[in-house]
Structure 1
Amino acid sequence: MAAITPSRLASLTRLRCSLFQTSYNPTSIRTGAKYLRSRLVGPSMVNYYPETLTVAQLREWSGYKWDLIDQQEVQRLEDIGFKKARGKGTPKKAKTPGDSRRAGKRR
């Protein structure tokens, strides 16, 4: 049985790639083709997570002043009040450059 020469194998591979519309890569360098061929994840992620409607969005879209109570917003404001009472709230904004904490650190 006769051995097949490497040049014949290379030409066969090149012909196969042109027939099946794949990229010809004789040196086997990394091209990222595997990731480019894979399907996109974004559309399926959008379809997986349903869009939830909040009270704030409902008020914004409708344009009417409804007497709806947003429980999440009420809870958030209560939590902020508790943190401020313990001294864990956000710091006040500096009105002047002298009020800022950075001004005291300069040497």
Structure 2
Amino acid sequence: MAESIAPKLLKSLARLRCSIFQTTFNPTSRRTGAKYLKARLRGPSMVQYYPERSPSIGDLNKMYPGWNLVDVHEVRRNISIQEHKDRGKGAPKKAKNKEESRRTKKRR
């Protein structure tokens, strides 16, 4: 005949086991986030993965104002934006106040 052990005794045994093996005692099985706190940090490996950023032409112009370097890609981008605006395909103008807003005009 097997004897049943009192739940109170099992609980105290689990608490003692947790203190010996340095684990958390969680008798109600609540979510504690321990899985995420134990996980290794991702930041350092991400920093190692990406190479160091070299200074851009804009950065060099700020560091050395007399050089006046020209960023060809930026000039092409600005020309493209201006061409789109000339054809009426550019971004819409931003409203300065509430009356100029498109949303306000639709509600009326």
TM over 0.5: yes
Q: Is the 8 A contact 2:57 2:71 kept in 1?
A: yes
What's the CA shift for 1:94?
5.2
In structure 1, what is the equivalent of residue 80 of structure 2? 79
1:70, 1:33 → 2: CA distance?
50
Distance change >3 Å, CA 4–CA 66, structure 1 → 2: farther
1:41, 1:15 → 2: CA distance?
34
After alignment, is 71-80 or 4-13 more displaced?
4-13
What's the CA shift for 1:93?
4.6
Structure 1, unmatched stretches of 5+, are none
1:40, 1:22 → 2: CA distance?
20
In structure 2, what is the equivalent of residue 23 of structure 1? 24
Q: Cα RMSD over matched residues? A: 2.9
String of CA shifts for 1:38-95, please: whole Å, max 9, x gaps: 12222322222223221112222x2332132212211221220221122111233556
Structure 2, unmatched stretches of 5+, are none
The percent identity for this pair of structures is 55
Amino acid at match of 2:57: V
In structure 1, what is the equivalent of residue 33 of structure 2? 32
1:3, 1:59 → 2: CA distance?
84
TM-score by length of 2: 0.71
Q: Is the 8 A contact 2:61 2:67 kept in 1?
A: yes
Distance change >3 Å, CA 96–CA 14, structure 1 → 2: closer
Q: Size of the alignment, in residue pairs?
A: 105
TM-score by length of 1: 0.71
In structure 2, what is the equivalent of residue 56 of structure 1? 58
Q: Is the 8 A contact 2:61 2:68 kept in 1?
A: no
In structure 2, what is the equivalent of residue 42 of structure 1? 43
